[in-house]
């Protein structure tokens, strides 16, 4: 193994002229189509491998495939976020104005993922007439925050990359969803995964406070750097996440320890205790 060649190759992946509109839009489109490919591949593989998947309704299949896609995206996001938080010296030195070519790449492809996410969410709302309001709001703000980087090329990347690190709980959510729909709810593996998920969501809260600390400590610089429209979107998204979304997700993850509920469908249904269509066994019981 030639480490010098490997390092040069990894740098070449990110070596684009991000000032150019066509480069930024190309990477956004690349993120969209790469994760769309993951979504379709998940459908194909699941149809071939999983008997449980074949018994699901079309709506459940959409959520299944999207959960797998989110899980893979979370791996990319957490890698980028941890590198910025713990390793990259430029981000350690300057948390407001710093940019890196690798952070450009990850933020733009992440914007493509969230574009796909929003399309899937809102098409599902129209087609299936069910909605997790909290997730829909979260995905809309996530896309809006990353979209601002496309228009304002001077924006620093530390806070957006920390936003990507908030995906740390997504792999556990993906695992929870797959176990639930394949009939493994209330197993030891499922409960262990729930404890990991709850822990990750509390870690998210700590990271959110860190993001607030960076903003408050550098308030004028952050506002100037992001620009007022982008700052308003970022501030509203971070405030909503701090006050409403993450506390609610911690609550519902804790509640699931005492009984599995599929929260992908209706917020009101979940709150008032109906688990909706969890799997084919539930469907059969309802028909009976």
Whole-angstrom distance, CA of residue 57 vs CA of residue 149: 38
Decide if pLDDT at 266 tops 80.
no
Radius of gyration over alpha carbons of the chain, in Å? 20
| Residue 286 scores a pLDDT above 80 | no
The angle, 0 to 180 degrees and rounded to 10, between the axes of the packed helices 219-226 and 188-217 is 100
pLDDT score for 232: 93
Confidence at 233, pLDDT banded by 50, 70, 90: very high
pLDDT tens-digit series, residues 22-45: 999 999 999 999 999 999 999 999
pLDDT-derived band at 205, boundaries 50, 70, 90: very high
Question: How many CB atoms sit inside 10 A of residue 86's CB?
Answer: 9
Task: Report the alpha-carbon distance of residue 244 to residue 237 in Å, rounded.
Answer: 10
Residue recorded with tokens 């690190």: 165
pTM score, whole prediction: 0.86
Confidence band, pLDDT 50/70/90 cuts, at residue 274: very low
- Counting every residue, how long is the chain? 288
pLDDT in tens, 61-119: 999 999 999 999 999 999 999 999 999 999 999 999 999 999 999 999 999 999 999 99
Element (H or E) spanning 113, and its range?
helix 101-128
Residue 162 has pLDDT above 60, yes or no: yes
Q: How far apart are CA 148 and CA 38, in angstroms?
A: 25
Name which of 107, 93, 207 is nearest 155 in CA terms: 107
Average pLDDT of the residues of the chain? 86
């Amino acid at each position: 193994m030639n480490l010098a060649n490997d390092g040069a190759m990894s740098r070449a992946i990110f070596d684009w002229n991000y000032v150019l509109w066509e480069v930024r839009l190309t990477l956004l489109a690349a993120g969209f189509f790469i994760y769309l490919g993951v979504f379709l591949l998940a459908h194909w593989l699941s149809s071939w491998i999983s008997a449980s998947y074949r018994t699901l309704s079309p709506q459940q299949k959409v959520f299944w495939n999207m959960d797998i896609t989110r899980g893979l995206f979370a791996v990319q996001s957490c890698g980028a976020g941890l590198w910025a938080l713990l390793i990259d010296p430029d981000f350690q030195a300057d948390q407001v104005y710093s940019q890196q070519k690798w952070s450009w790449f990850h933020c733009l492809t992440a914007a493509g993922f969230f574009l796909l996410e929003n399309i899937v969410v809102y098409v599902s709302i129209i087609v299936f007439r069910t909605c997790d309001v909290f997730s829909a709001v979260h995905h809309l703000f996530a896309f809006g925050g990353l979209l601002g980087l496309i228009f304002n090329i001077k924006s620093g990347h530390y806070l957006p990359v920390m936003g990507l690190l908030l995906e740390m709980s997504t792999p556990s959510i993906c695992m929870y969803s797959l176990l639930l729909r394949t009939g493994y709810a209330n197993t030891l593996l499922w409960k262990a995964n729930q404890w990991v998920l709850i822990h990750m969501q509390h870690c998210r809260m700590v990271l959110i406070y860190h993001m607030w600390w960076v903003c408050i400590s550098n308030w004028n610089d952050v506002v100037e750097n992001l620009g007022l429209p982008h700052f308003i979107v970022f501030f509203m998204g971070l405030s909503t996440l701090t006050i409403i979304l993450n506390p609610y997700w911690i609550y519902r993850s804790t509640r699931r320890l005492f009984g599995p509920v599929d929260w992908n469908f209706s917020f009101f249904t979940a709150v008032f205790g109906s688990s909706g269509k969890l799997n084919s066994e539930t469907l059969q019981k309802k028909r009976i």
